[in-house]
Chain A
Amino acid sequence: MSNNNTIVSVQQISKSYWRDSLEIPVLQNISFDIPEGEFLSLMGPSGSGKTTLLNLIAGIDRPTSGKISVAGTDVTSLGESALAKWRANSVGFVFQFYNLMPVLTAFENVELPLLLTNLKKKERKEHVEQVLNVVGLGDRMDHSPKQLSGGQQQRVAIARAIVTDPTLLVADEPTGDLDKHSAEEIMILLERLNRELKKTIVMVTHDPRAAEKAHTTRHLDKGELS
């Protein structure tokens, strides 16, 4: 059941993949709510469906059955174009391998989501500089991803994720490709975003130390949530 402060509502979600004529169930009848301002960690063994569930919540994959609402929007009923627009406005993504555009500078990478808005160049600049300062890379704006360390690249990716001020921040193994020190920095940053900017965060991780930073940890195993 959804409470008044529920931001994400997952209802009876199932997801299967098909390999030729063979159906491979990944998620089975999963239901849960995420309150606004939550920092939720999803854990589980490989192949348990963590990333699939995250993708469904973020609207980059569609469930076989069930319904997902984010901030009152039924994501599962949106068409491709509306869904793209919704993602641009409502969700920020942080990937395990950063997924920055190698030919763009840190500034330009963070500016990418803003190109879809009606903001003027000057306004975009202000927004980008602001979030790059938040992630501590105000002095690295003109650097290309190649010139940045893994931790710095992930911070650029986080800046790109929050530059549109999304309702929800989803992170798929954000520390999975980082050394211990960088991973710690990233988790401190995510914790800060949750605490200071009140961002709702859903994070998939294998790393128990990363999961410790979250308010809540849910475990997925064989497609079932516990």
Chain B
Amino acid sequence: MKIFKLILKNFKRHKLRLSLTIVGIAIAVMAFSLLRTVITAWNAGVDIAAPNRVVTSHAVSFIMPLPISYRDKIAKIPGIESITYANWFQGIYKDKNQFFPRMAIDAETFFDVYYEYKVDTSIYLDAMKKQRNGCIIGKKIAKEYNLTIGDKMIVDGDIYPGRWEFEVVGYYSGKGNPKVDETWMVFNWSYLDEQLRQSQSGRGGFVGWYVFKVKDPNKIAEISDAIDKEFFNSYAKTKTQTEQAFNQSFVSMSGAILSAIEFVSFVIIGILFLVLANTMIMSARERIREYAVLKTLGFTTSHLVLLITGEAIIISLVGGSVGIAVTFPIVDVLAEAFARIFPIFIVANSTLVIAVSFIIVAGIISSLVPLYRSIKMSIVDGLRFIG
């Protein structure tokens, strides 16, 4: 406590330098946290995957379709609780830049398998079942495009050519769960299938992938193996994997970019070390004579450790805290701006833990050189020092 008072007094020496150091650390920590948040957002699909959800897609590529007839065969495999399926539809809504996921789903089963996506079953889901071209949209999309029940959504098909007209019949949300992507638009798979059978007969009767819940997550490997064996001799072989692994395959496509972002984030931490170390070395050099006086008065090595390392850690913590505090409102703004690219853009707890750990480590490491010098310095040399 007595040493803490001395540390606080030392902060009065070079207020401008101290302020610039704190701002430098704050910017470094903010930049680090933002980059980590981007990485987290990129990996969000992997992180939010349910542990009991499994995806079956075409063995060659997930863009190749699977016959709808597989549904009943998969459902019969022991251990599967409920199964649904979907097609990636996409298309162009308003213009090419208006990206958000648009999928054809089985209204009967989809929200049962994706149980964290909350929808009012008695109103919205029933309405979707009754209306062939009815669609349900996430709350974020509804807000962003100012869409309400009864509004039309005209989508120009790209994967499925044609002009597609949908009508908003309901909304879904995560009910406060920040890991639910509220930017989807889902509509009846049967509507897509009917249209395809009429206009492109060869494309009817197919789904993009199957998703199912299992009763016991420990048996996922066994169940997956059973499914893939079932269709091993079929013309459309399957690949069954956990939802997490399935989502990971998308993230892996951007692996190089993510690695680059991660590298830059650690470079920024390196800069934080340098900024703080520079300040601490300058400060300690200016105080060599004072440290010699303290040693003369009977202050020991442990006192100097508390004094020098304590000062570095406090500066680092103050700068880091400012950086973290500033990160949150910036992330909120960016989350709005990039809602369609990163539907889940939040500062993860892991980011905070890493940032705080680096802040403390930076404080300790930056004090090592000045500490070593002040401990090794003889009192006589210190008293003679002219800084």
CA distance in complex: A153, B36 (Å)? 53
Pair A87/B298 contact, Cβ less than 8 Å: yes
Chain A positions within 8 Å of B294 at CB level = 112
Q: Are A116 and B380 in contact (CB under 8 A)?
A: no
- Closest B residue to A55 by beta carbon equals B380
Q: Please determine whether B300 and A84 come into contact, CB atoms closer than 8 angstroms.
A: yes
Q: Which A residue sits closest to B8, measured CB to CB?
A: A103
The answer to whether A93 touches B380, judged by C-beta atoms less than 8 angstroms apart, is no
Q: Which of B9-17, B113-121, B314-322 contacts A (4 or more CB under 8 A)?
A: B9-17
Whether B9 lies near A104 (C-beta < 8 A) is yes
Q: How far is the CA of A95 from the CA of B297 in the complex (A)?
A: 12
Cα–Cα, bound, A115→B293 (Å): 14
Interface size class of B (residues with CB under 8 A): 20 to 34
Bound CA span A89–B301, Å: 17
* Contact digits for A146-179, partner B, Cβ 8 Å, 1 yes 0 no: 0000000000000010000000000000000000
Task: Give the docked Cα–Cα distance between A84 and B299 (Å).
Answer: 7
Decide: B296 and A87 in contact? CB cutoff 8 A. yes
Q: Is B383 an interface residue (CB 8 A)?
A: yes
Query: B358-387 toward A: CB 8 Å interface, digit per residue (1/0)?
Result: 000000000000000000001110010000
Q: A103 contacts B378, CB within 8 Å? A: no
> Are B298 and A81 in touch, CB under 8 angstroms?
no
In the bound complex, CA of A99 to CA of B288 (Å): 11
Known: A101-B290, A103-B10, A108-B9. A89 touches B298 (CB 8 A): yes
Question: CA–CA, A200 to B261, complex, Å?
Answer: 68
> What 0/1 readout, one digit per residue, does chain B (297-319) give for beta carbons within 8 Å of chain A?
11111000000000000000000
Cβ contact within 8 Å between A112 and B9: no
Interfacial chain A residues near B290, Cβ < 8 Å: 99, 101
Asked if B295 lies at the interface with its beta carbon under 8 angstroms from chain A, I say yes
CA–CA, A61 and B384, complex, Å: 13
In the complex the two chains form, is A61's CB within 8 Å of B378's CB? yes
- The residue in chain B whose Cβ has the minimal distance to the Cβ of A93 is B296
* Most B Cβ at <10 Å: residue of A58, A112, A160: A112
B274-296 at interface with A (beta carbon < 8 Å):
289-290, 293-296
B2 contacts partner chain A, Cβ-Cβ < 8 Å: yes
B303 nearest CB across to chain A (Å)? 8
Is the CB of A60 closer than 8 A to any CB of chain B?
yes
Smallest CB gap from B10: residue in A: A103
**Contact among A55, A87, A103 for B9, CB-based, below 8 A:** A103
A160 CA to B9 CA, complexed, in Å: 18
A99-B383, A103-B12 as given contacts; A112 in contact with B378, CB under 8 Å? no
Contact with A along B130-147 (1 / 0, CB 8 A): 000000000000000000
Contact of A87 among B3, B6, B297, B301 (CB under 8 A): B297
CB within 8 A of B300: which of A60, A81, A89, A103?
A: A81
Would A116 and B379 be within 8 Å (CB), given that A99-B289, A103-B9, A103-B10 are in contact? no
Q: Which of A88, A99, A103, A108 contacts B293 (CB 8 A)?
A: A99
CA distance in complex: A102, B290 (Å): 9
Partner of A113, one of B9, B13, B298, B379: B298
Q: Chain B interface (Cβ within 8 Å of chain A)?
A: 2-3, 6, 9-10, 12-13, 289-290, 293-301, 378-380, 383
Identify 17 residue pairs between A and B in the complex whose beta-carbon atoms are under 8 Å apart, listed by A's number. Answer: A55-B380, A80-B300, A81-B300, A81-B301, A85-B298, A87-B297, A87-B298, A93-B296, A99-B289, A99-B290, A101-B9, A103-B10, A104-B6, A108-B9, A112-B297, A113-B297, A116-B299
Seed contacts A88-B298, A93-B297, A115-B2; 18 additional CB < 8 Å A-B pairs? A55-B380, A60-B379, A60-B383, A80-B301, A84-B298, A85-B298, A87-B297, A87-B298, A93-B296, A99-B289, A99-B293, A101-B9, A102-B13, A103-B12, A103-B13, A104-B6, A113-B298, A116-B299
Q: Which 3 residue pairs spanning A and B have beta carbons closest together?
A: A88-B298, A60-B379, A115-B2
